[in-house]
């Protein structure tokens, strides 16, 4: 279902193309961002507004990120089966992709992960029996059989098999403390590896599955990672590698670990596959990871920024003057400012509205609470998502034209 080819490489940095059998004639250029959803929809953006927000010149590169625990409740197996019946009766073509049809995502490929992109750290837990997630409805468990059954029904274009990635304590250990560096792998990490080997193998056995990613475990402990890779069955059928979650650690430490991690992967059968990463969504982190050769990202950066009424204004091309990463539209200086949020931005918000209007929505919310916040978030999400998509487009363009290093360096140097 999913195939990847590299278009151009510059050292470790590269642009590539993902294609999916279910969406023939479409290609998805990497590096790209898989967009966050909640209950199957993009926050505050109805389909018409969403289409506008993701538009870029190269017309591509929107993959939808769905959370497994979400899908387990909504729609869940029962409702989806019922929907399949309904489609059969209607003799609809949508029966090929029932989940996409139900969630109104027919035009897009989806990736399903057990990790919730909302949080900087992995929140999905596990014990010896099974992985579990804490949802609004309470603690929910799953196991390889029901996971396989559901995913066979749902047919996502990209799927992360079950594994144990609850590596919190490893993050603590790997922070620079004298002497602690060369510790033997903790019991916890060994457990993660054992469970993951088992579950990955059990959830990679679906016949004709061509959507699976191979998830790394112990990615922050290179020795354990090497062992894990040696002992795992690295099938031909894997379509990508999920570098997983580097948690919270100093950037230089993360850089070094990421490099080591990618090197280990490149030394195996999986070397030609696209590299996916979780939890690296801040533009600085994205640039760093792109430089190291990462292809696909997740996260909630544009939405997080919007939470406080901020609009993204980081540079989309090489520029020498200083600029801020974001603009606080609550600031009193915008009361009478009739310019668009960002001059030259083609998003719906900047084409139709002014800073004064958005400032008004932000302040008026004291009177009418969530009603205006909705439209405020609509505006700011529209802008921030569009800006983020353009950011990835800028990355792709700069790699193709050989100017990525310069873009990255001027970006980090000139933004506050």
Using CA atoms, how far apart are residues 12 and 31, in angstroms rounded to an integer? Answer: 13
To the nearest whole angstrom, how small is the minimum distance from the Cβ of residue 43 to other proteins? 7
Kindly tell me which of 103 and 296 has the beta carbon lying closer to other proteins: 103
SS3 state of residue 23? coil
CB 199 within 8 A of CB 161: yes
- The reply on whether position 117 binds other proteins by CB under 8 A is no
Which CA distances in Å does 362 have to 9, 42, 337, 373, 383?
Answer: 44, 21, 14, 7, 15
Among 123, 268, 356, 400, binds other proteins (CB under 8 A): 356
Kindly tell me which of 8 and 336 has the beta carbon lying closer to other proteins: 336
Among 68, 357, 391, 404, binds other proteins (CB under 8 A): 357
Beta bridge partners of 66: 112
Among 3, 21, 104, 271, binds other proteins (CB under 8 A): 104
Site string for other proteins, 334-353 (x = CB under 8 A): -xx-x---------x---xx
Tracing tokens 């599955």 back to the chain, one arrives at 209
Is 350 annotated to bind a ligand? Reply is: yes
Tracing tokens 């804490």 back to the chain, one arrives at 134
To the nearest whole angstrom, how small is the minimum distance from the Cβ of residue 338 to other proteins? 6
Is 345 annotated to bind a ligand? Reply is: yes
Residues 18-47 that bind other proteins (CB under 8 A): 38-47
Peptide bond into 31 cis (omega under 30): yes
To the nearest whole angstrom, how small is the minimum distance from the Cβ of residue 410 to other proteins? 34
Site string for other proteins, 310-339 (x = CB under 8 A): -------------------------xx-x-
Kindly tell me which of 227 and 354 has the beta carbon lying closer to other proteins: 354
Would you state the torsion angle of the CA atoms of residues 141, 147, 150, 155, taken in this order, to the nearest 10 degrees? 140
Residues 61-90 that bind other proteins (CB under 8 A): 74-75, 78-79, 82-83, 86
CB 32 within 8 A of CB 66: no
CB 363 within 8 A of CB 384: no
Using CA atoms, how far apart are residues 49 and 348, in angstroms rounded to an integer? Answer: 8
Total of chain residues touching other proteins, rule CB under 8 A: 45
Question: Do the bridges between strand 240-245 and strand 13-20 make them parallel or antiparallel, or are there none, so unpaired?
Answer: unpaired
Residue 271 DSSP class:
G
Is 124 annotated to bind a ligand? Reply is: no
Q: What share of the chain is helix, strand, coil (3-state, %, to 5)?
A: 45, 20, 40
Using CA atoms, how far apart are residues 61 and 58, in angstroms rounded to an integer? Answer: 8
Binding range to other proteins, per CB under 8 A, among 186-194, 204-212, 371-379, 395-403: 371-379
Peptide bond into 253 cis (omega under 30): no
- In the annotated binding site, the residues are 345, 347, 350, 383
Chain residues binding other proteins by CB under 8 A are 38-49, 74-75, 78-79, 82-83, 86, 102-104, 335-336, 338, 348, 352-354, 356-357, 360-361, 363-364, 366-368, 370-372, 374-375, 377-378
Residues making up the annotated binding site for Zn(2+) are: 345, 347, 350, 383
């Amino acid at each position: 279902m999913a195939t990847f080819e590299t278009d151009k490489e510059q050292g470790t940095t590269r642009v590539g193309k993902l294609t999916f059998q279910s969406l023939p004639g479409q290609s998805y250029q990497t590096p790209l961002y898989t967009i966050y959803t909640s209950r199957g929809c993009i926050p505050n953006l109805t389909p018409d507004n969403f289409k506008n927000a993701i538009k870029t010149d190269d017309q591509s590169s929107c993959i939808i990120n769905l959370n497994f625990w979400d899908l387990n409740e909504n729609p869940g197996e029962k409702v989806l089966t019922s929907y399949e019946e309904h489609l059969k009766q209607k003799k609809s073509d949508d029966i090929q992709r029932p989940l996409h049809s139900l969630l109104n995502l027919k035009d897009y490929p989806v990736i399903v992960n057990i990790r919730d992109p909302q949080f900087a750290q992995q929140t999905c837990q596990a014990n010896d029996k099974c992985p579990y997630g804490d949802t609004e409805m309470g603690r929910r468990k799953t196991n390889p059989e029901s996971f396989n059954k559901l995913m066979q029904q749902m047919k996502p274009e990209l799927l992360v098999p079950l594994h144990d990635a609850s590596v919190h304590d490893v993050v603590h250990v790997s922070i620079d403390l004298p002497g602690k560096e060369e510790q033997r792998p903790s019991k916890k990490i060994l457990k993660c590896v054992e469970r993951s080997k088992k579950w990955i193998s059990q959830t990679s056995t679906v016949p004709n599955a061509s959507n699976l990613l191979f998830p790394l475990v112990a990615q922050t402990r290179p020795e354990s990672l090497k062992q894990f890779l040696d002992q795992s069955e690295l099938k031909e059928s894997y379509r990508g590698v999920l570098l997983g979650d580097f948690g919270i650690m100093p950037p230089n430490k993360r850089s070094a670990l990421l490099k080591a991690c990618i090197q280990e992967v490149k030394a195996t059968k999986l070397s030609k596959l696209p590299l996916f990463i979780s939890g690296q969504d801040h533009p600085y982190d994205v640039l760093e990871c792109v430089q190291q050769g990462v292809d696909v990202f997740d996260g909630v950066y544009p939405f997080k920024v919007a939470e406080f009424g901020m609009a993204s204004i980081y540079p989309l091309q090489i520029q020498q003057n200083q600029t801020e990463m974001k603009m606080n539209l609550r600031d009193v200086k915008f009361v009478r400012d009739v310019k668009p949020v960002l001059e030259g931005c083609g998003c719906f918000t900047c084409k139709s509205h002014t800073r004064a209007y958005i400032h008004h929505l932000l302040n008026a919310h004291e009177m009418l609470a969530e009603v205006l916040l909705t439209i405020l978030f609509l505006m700011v999400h529209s802008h921030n998502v569009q800006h983020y998509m353009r950011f990835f487009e800028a990355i792709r363009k700069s790699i193709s034209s050989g100017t990525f290093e310069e873009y990255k360096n001027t970006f980090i140097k000139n933004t506050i």
